[in-house]
Chains A and B, each alone.
Chain A
Amino acid sequence: MAARTPRYDAIVVGGGHNGLTCAAYLAKAGRKVLVLERRHVVGGAAVSEQVFPGFTYSVCSYVVSLLRPWIIRELELARFGLEMIPLESSFLPLPDGRSMCRWSDAARTRAEVSAFSPHDAERMAEFSQAMSKIGRFVRPIIDAPAPEPASWNPKDVIELLKLGRHFQDAPVDQMALRLKLLTMSAVDFLDEWFESPELKAPMSVSGIIGTFLGVRSPGTAYVLLHHYMGEIDGAFRSWGFSRGGTGGVSNAIAASARHFGAEIRTEAPIDHIVVDGERARGVVLRSGEEIRAKQVISGCDPRLTFLGLVGEKHLPADFVAALSRYRFRGSSGKVNLALDALPEFVCRPGAEHLRGDIAVAPSIDYLERAYDQAKYGTYSRRPYINIVLPSTVDPTVAPTGKHVMSCFVQYAPYELSTGPESWPQHREAFGETVIDTIEEYVPNIRDLILHKQVLTPWDLEQEFGLSEGNIFHGELTLDQLAFQRPAAGWARYRTPVRGLWLASSGAHPGGGIMGSPGALCAKTMLEERAL
C-alpha cells in the first residue's frame, strides 16, 4: 500500500552533484529530504570508480573549475572531506618536437610563449585583464537565478534594470568586447589578440567543449569566458583536481547533506514521477514502491526528466515543443587508462609539465578538421584530446609508481551516420583512434596500458542518463543559457508541473561541476516558501 501522506518535504530524483547540493541546502534549512539515485554510487557524472582494481578513475567529469566558493563555504565542504588540488600547468605537445607549457608562474609562461611569439607573450596579461573585466559582469548572472525578461513582476523588472545598468555602466571598448564575445567564433576572437597559432589552438578549444560546434563556428567565443570565471572568483583559483577523483566532490556534498539530515538511497531507480491534477505528488520506483513528497526535484537533464519520468501527457504542448528543440547533440567521449608508468612525451621528457592538463590540439586546422568529420557522422580520426594525469599530484588514485590517464575526446558525435545505437560496434575502434593519436606524442603508450575504459556518447546516455551523451545536460550555447535554459519562461527551476523543480545542469547557469543549479534551485524554493 502506498502511503498517502507525504513522508518527505522533498524528493530529489538523481544523486548527481547538483541533486545532492539541492538536497543539502534544503536539509540545512530543516526540510526532510530524500535523494534517490539509480546507480550504486552517488555523483552522477562527477563520480570516482575503481573500474580496474587499484586505479580510481574520474569516470566522466575529470576536473573541477567552477564549483562555487560560496557553496563550499555554506555547505562546509572542506569539513566533509572536499580536498582540491590546483592544476599547475597547461601543456601543449606538438608533433614537430616543439612544445609549449603555460604555468601558474606568469613569468615562466611569458618565457615559454615568447619562444613562439614575443608579442603574444606580452599580450597575454592584457587579454587576461580584459576577460576578467567581462567575467566580473557575467558572474552576478551565474550566481543568481536567471533574469526573466518577459516578466512584469516588479521584483523581476527591478532585477533586470539593475542588471542592465551593470551592463551599460562600462566604457565603449568594454561594450564592444562583450558584443564580440557574444557573436564571434573562438578563433576569430582570439585572432584579434594573438598571432601564434600554437597559443590560439589550445585556447580556442574551451569554446567548443561539450558543444557540437567547431572553433570557427560563430558563438563559440562566449564559452572562452567560462575559463576565466575561476580567476574572477578572486581568491578562488582556477582549475583543480578533487582528491580521490571528481567523486570526491559528490561525496563531500553527500556527507554534508547527510549531516544536515538528508536521506540518500542508492540503487533506487525511478520508474516515473507521479503527477496527478497537474501536480507532482511523488515518485514510483522501478521496484513498485511509491514515495510521496510535497515537492519533487529533478537532478536529471530536461529530456530525461520531462519526457522520460513525467511523460508528455502531463505537459503543455508548447513546452514539449520547446524541449524537442533543445539541443543535446553530445560531441565527446572519454577514455580512461591505467598506466604502468608515467608516459614520456618525446617533445619534452620529464614529469614536471604533466601535473596540469595536456592538450592535443596542435593547430586550429587540426581542430576544425576534427569537427568536419563529426559533422557528417563519424568520430574524428585525429580528435582533440584533453589529458590529465591526476595520479601525478594525488597518490590516492593509483598504486605507487603507476598512473591514471584521463582523456576527454572531442569529437565523438552521438549521431553517427550509422545511428547512435551503432556506437557499441565502433567503441573499440574509437578507443584505438584515441590511443593512436596519443602514440604520435608518446610512442610507447601502448606498452604502458594496463587497462582501458572507453565511453562513447551512447555509453554516457545509457549508463549515466545523459541524453545524447551531452555532458552539460544540453549544449552551452547562448540560445540555451540564462532565461532560455531549458526553455523560455521556465528558467527559474520551476516547471510546468506544479511541485516539480529542475535542479540540474539543464537549468541555469548550466553544466560543469558548479553546484549552482542545485543550490539556486533550493534557495528559490525556500524563498518562495514552496515547502
Chain B
Amino acid sequence: MPVPTPFHPRTSELCTSLLYKEWAGCYAVCRYDVYVDREYYALRNQATVMDATPLYKYDVTGPNAADLLSRVMVRGFEKHAVGRVSYVCWTDEHGKVLDDGTVTRLAEDWFRVTSAEPALEWLDRNKRKLDVRVVDVSRSIAALAVQGPLSRDVLRPLVGGGIDQLKFFRAIQVELAVGGSRVEGVVTRTGYTGDLGYELWMDNPAALAVYDALLESGAPLGLLPMGLDALDVSRVEAGFLLSGVDYTSARYAFIDRHLSTPYELAFDWMVQLDRRPFVGRSALRRAKETGPMRRFVGLEIDWDEFEAIHERFKLVPHLATGTCREGVPLYREGRQVGYATSRTWSPLLKKYLALATVEAGLARPGTALSIEVTCEYERHMAKATVTPTPFFDPERKKA
C-alpha cells in the first residue's frame, strides 16, 4: 500500500479529483482537478508546485564522496564545484544504463544523489575501501518542484534575494522564511519540465510550513498545485526521457534488446571516458568505438496526415491533454526501424510529439519516418519527422 508523503495533509485536501497513482511507494496526485489543462497552463504561464518527495534521494558524505560517485557515474566528480548540480546516468559493468538522476555537491565532502529507482545497494556495493557513507534520505527529506515562468517570484519571499543569483543547475543551502520562522533547506535550479524552475529540499517536519508559505506567496501569482499528468506532458515537450517508459533499466532488462548504452539514449555528452576507471568504462569505450545501433530521438508527427486518417472515418482527432505511454512501431520504406515510447499533444506548440528509439542511421533531424496510428481499430501510417529536442526551450529556463 502506498504511503502518504509529508505534504499529503495539504495535497489530499486540494486533490478534488481523487486521482492518484503510486510513485516509488508513495501516493502521488495525477491531477488535482478532473480538468488537467488548468495545471498545464499554469505551469507554462504562471507557476506550479509539485510534490516530488517520492524521488529516491541519497546523501553521500565523507572524504571519498567524490571518488565514489566518480567510480559509479559516467562522469567524474572530483572537480565538480560545490553548489553545482549535474544530470547524469550510471551503468552496470557492461555499460548498460541502470538509472539517471541528479548529483548535487552541497559541500566538499557532501553530495546528494536523486534517482528514479533505489540506488543505495548499488552505491554501497561499489564503495569497497573508500571512506564514504551513503545514507538513504528518500523518506526523511521532502521535496517540492516549483516550476514555471513566475516560479522565481513565488520563491523570493521564502528564499530571499539569493534566488535571483541562483543560476541554472546550481544549488544553494538556505534558511527558508516560513510563517515567521526559518527552516533549513536546499534550493536547486532544476526540474523536469524544461521551464524556469526550482526544486526545494527540506526535512520532513518542515514540509507543511514550507508548503503553506509557498501557496500563500504564490496565490496572487496564479500558482497552482500540479500533478503527474501535466508533468508528463511538459517533460515530453522538454525532450526528457523517463526510466521504465522510454528505456528499461539494466536491472529490469530481461533480454538484451531491453538494454541501453548511454550513447543509445543520446547521453553522449555526459560520458567522460578519459579518467580513472569507473563502472562500465571499458564496455563504454567499446560501445563508443562501434557506435550505437539505435538512438533516442524526438519526433514530430505530421498533424495534417494524422487528421487525414481521421477524416477517412469522418472523425476529428481528439487528443486529451496527457502523455500516452504505449509503445508504437515506426517504419521506413515498409520496414520497422524503431518505436515511439511517449506521445503527447503539445497544447502550447500545437504539435503532436513523440519520444522514440530509432536505428542509429535514421536519427538525423529531418529524417522522415512513418508512425503507426490506430484509428477506429484500424492501423494506419502517418509521417513522423525526427526533430531536435527540446521541442520547447524557452529562454527563461536558463536566463
Contact among B34, B222, B307, B392 with A395 in the assembled complex (CB-CB below 8 Å): B222
In the complex, besides A234-B307, A237-B347, A243-B45, 4 extra interface pairs with C-beta distance below 8 angstroms are A85-B45, A136-B314, A394-B46, A395-B150
Query: Would you list which residues of chain B between 228 and 283 have a CB under 8 Å from chain A?
Result: none
Asked if A73 and B351 make an inter-chain contact with CB atoms under 8 angstroms apart, the answer reads: yes
- Return the chain A residue nearest B33 by Cβ: A105
Interface flags for B315-334 (1: CB within 8 Å of A; 0: not) read 01111000000000000000
Asked if A357 lies at the interface with its beta carbon under 8 angstroms from chain B, I say no
Asked if B350 and A69 make an inter-chain contact with CB atoms under 8 angstroms apart, the answer reads: yes
Asked if A72 and B350 make an inter-chain contact with CB atoms under 8 angstroms apart, the answer reads: yes
Asked if A395 and B220 make an inter-chain contact with CB atoms under 8 angstroms apart, the answer reads: yes
5 smallest CB-CB distances across A and B, nearest first, come from A69-B350, A235-B319, A235-B345, A234-B317, A400-B220
Asked if A293 lies at the interface with its beta carbon under 8 angstroms from chain B, I say no
Asked if B34 and A105 make an inter-chain contact with CB atoms under 8 angstroms apart, the answer reads: yes
B58 to chain A, nearest CB (A): 37
CB<8 Å pairs between A and B, sample of 22: A69-B303, A70-B304, A70-B350, A73-B349, A73-B351, A78-B348, A83-B45, A86-B38, A88-B35, A88-B38, A105-B35, A136-B314, A232-B316, A233-B316, A234-B316, A243-B45, A393-B46, A394-B45, A394-B46, A395-B46, A395-B222, A400-B220
Asked if A121 lies at the interface with its beta carbon under 8 angstroms from chain B, I say no
Task: Tell me the bound Cα distance from A48 to B110 in angstroms.
Answer: 50
Interface flags for B35-52 (1: CB within 8 Å of A; 0: not) read 101100100111000000
Interface flags for A84-107 (1: CB within 8 Å of B; 0: not) read 111010000000000000011101
The range of chain B's interface size is 20 to 34
- Return chain B residues, CB-CB under 8 Å to A105: 33-35
Asked if B221 and A395 make an inter-chain contact with CB atoms under 8 angstroms apart, the answer reads: yes
A3 to chain B, nearest CB (A): 38
- Return chain A residues, CB-CB under 8 Å to B349: 72-73, 78
Asked if B316 and A132 make an inter-chain contact with CB atoms under 8 angstroms apart, the answer reads: yes
B46 to chain A, nearest CB (A): 7
Query: Would you list which residues of chain A between 292 and 348 have a CB under 8 Å from chain B?
Result: none
User: Is chain A's interface secondary structure helix, strand, loop, or mixed overall?
Assistant: loop
Task: Tell me the bound Cα distance from A400 to B317 in angstroms.
Answer: 40
- Return the chain B residue nearest A68 by Cβ: B350
- Return chain B residues, CB-CB under 8 Å to A136: 314, 316
Asked if A52 lies at the interface with its beta carbon under 8 angstroms from chain B, I say no
Task: Tell me the bound Cα distance from A327 to B349 in angstroms.
Answer: 37
> Contacts A73-B303, A234-B318, A395-B222; is A83 near B44 (CB within 8 Å)?
yes
- The interface on chain A, measured as residues whose beta carbon lies within 8 A of the other chain's beta carbons, has a size of 29
Contact among A70, A79, A84, A88 with B303 in the assembled complex (CB-CB below 8 Å): A70
Task: Tell me the bound Cα distance from A76 to B345 in angstroms.
Answer: 15
- Return chain A residues, CB-CB under 8 Å to B35: 88, 103-105
Asked if B37 and A393 make an inter-chain contact with CB atoms under 8 angstroms apart, the answer reads: no
B98 to chain A, nearest CB (A): 35
Residues of B within 8 A of A (CB): 33-35, 37-38, 41, 44-46, 150, 220-222, 303-304, 307, 314, 316-319, 345, 347-352, 392
Task: Tell me the bound Cα distance from A111 to B348 in angstroms.
Answer: 31
Asked if A236 lies at the interface with its beta carbon under 8 angstroms from chain B, I say yes
Asked if A118 lies at the interface with its beta carbon under 8 angstroms from chain B, I say no
- Return the chain B residue nearest A107 by Cβ: B34
Asked if A234 and B319 make an inter-chain contact with CB atoms under 8 angstroms apart, the answer reads: yes
- Return chain B residues, CB-CB under 8 Å to A235: 317-319, 345, 347, 350, 352
Contact among B37, B46, B222 with A237 in the assembled complex (CB-CB below 8 Å): B37
- Return chain B residues, CB-CB under 8 Å to A400: 220-221
Asked if B41 and A236 make an inter-chain contact with CB atoms under 8 angstroms apart, the answer reads: no
- Return chain B residues, CB-CB under 8 Å to A107: 34
- Return chain B residues, CB-CB under 8 Å to A243: 45
- Return chain B residues, CB-CB under 8 Å to A236: 350
Task: Tell me the bound Cα distance from A105 to B17 in angstroms.
Answer: 11
Asked if A394 and B222 make an inter-chain contact with CB atoms under 8 angstroms apart, the answer reads: yes
- Return chain A residues, CB-CB under 8 Å to B44: 83
Task: Tell me the bound Cα distance from A502 to B307 in angstroms.
Answer: 29
Task: Tell me the bound Cα distance from A69 to B316 in angstroms.
Answer: 14
Interface flags for A42-84 (1: CB within 8 Å of B; 0: not) read 0000000000000000000000000001101100001100011
Task: Tell me the bound Cα distance from A236 to B350 in angstroms.
Answer: 7
B100 to chain A, nearest CB (A): 27
Asked if A350 lies at the interface with its beta carbon under 8 angstroms from chain B, I say no
B191 to chain A, nearest CB (A): 18
Asked if A149 lies at the interface with its beta carbon under 8 angstroms from chain B, I say no
A523 to chain B, nearest CB (A): 14
Task: Tell me the bound Cα distance from A170 to B318 in angstroms.
Answer: 21
Asked if A401 lies at the interface with its beta carbon under 8 angstroms from chain B, I say yes
- Return chain B residues, CB-CB under 8 Å to A72: 349-350
Task: Tell me the bound Cα distance from A425 to B156 in angstroms.
Answer: 49
- Return chain B residues, CB-CB under 8 Å to A84: 41, 347-348
Q: Max chain A CB contacts within 10 Å: which of B33, B34, B316?
A: B316
A230 to chain B, nearest CB (A): 12
B91 to chain A, nearest CB (A): 35
- Return the chain B residue nearest A242 by Cβ: B45
- Return the chain A residue nearest B393 by Cβ: A79
B153 to chain A, nearest CB (A): 9
Task: Tell me the bound Cα distance from A481 to B271 in angstroms.
Answer: 61
Task: Tell me the bound Cα distance from A107 to B319 in angstroms.
Answer: 19
Task: Tell me the bound Cα distance from A495 to B213 in angstroms.
Answer: 61
A318 to chain B, nearest CB (A): 39
Task: Tell me the bound Cα distance from A116 to B349 in angstroms.
Answer: 39
- Return chain A residues, CB-CB under 8 Å to B319: 234-235
A91 to chain B, nearest CB (A): 16
- Return chain A residues, CB-CB under 8 Å to B38: 86, 88, 104
- Return the chain A residue nearest B392 by Cβ: A78
> Contacts A78-B392, A136-B314; is A401 near B220 (CB within 8 Å)?
yes
- Return chain A residues, CB-CB under 8 Å to B348: 78, 83-84
Task: Tell me the bound Cα distance from A78 to B352 in angstroms.
Answer: 14
Task: Tell me the bound Cα distance from A86 to B303 in angstroms.
Answer: 22
Task: Tell me the bound Cα distance from A84 to B40 in angstroms.
Answer: 11
- Return chain A residues, CB-CB under 8 Å to B150: 395
- Return chain A residues, CB-CB under 8 Å to B317: 234-235
Task: Tell me the bound Cα distance from A107 to B35 in angstroms.
Answer: 11
Query: Would you list which residues of chain A between 145 and 173 have a CB under 8 Å from chain B?
Result: none
- Return chain A residues, CB-CB under 8 Å to B45: 83, 85, 243, 393-394
Asked if B37 and A104 make an inter-chain contact with CB atoms under 8 angstroms apart, the answer reads: yes
Asked if A85 and B41 make an inter-chain contact with CB atoms under 8 angstroms apart, the answer reads: yes
Interface flags for A394-420 (1: CB within 8 Å of B; 0: not) read 110000110000000000000000000
Task: Tell me the bound Cα distance from A73 to B301 in angstroms.
Answer: 12
Interface flags for A377-393 (1: CB within 8 Å of B; 0: not) read 00000000000000001
- Return chain B residues, CB-CB under 8 Å to A232: 316
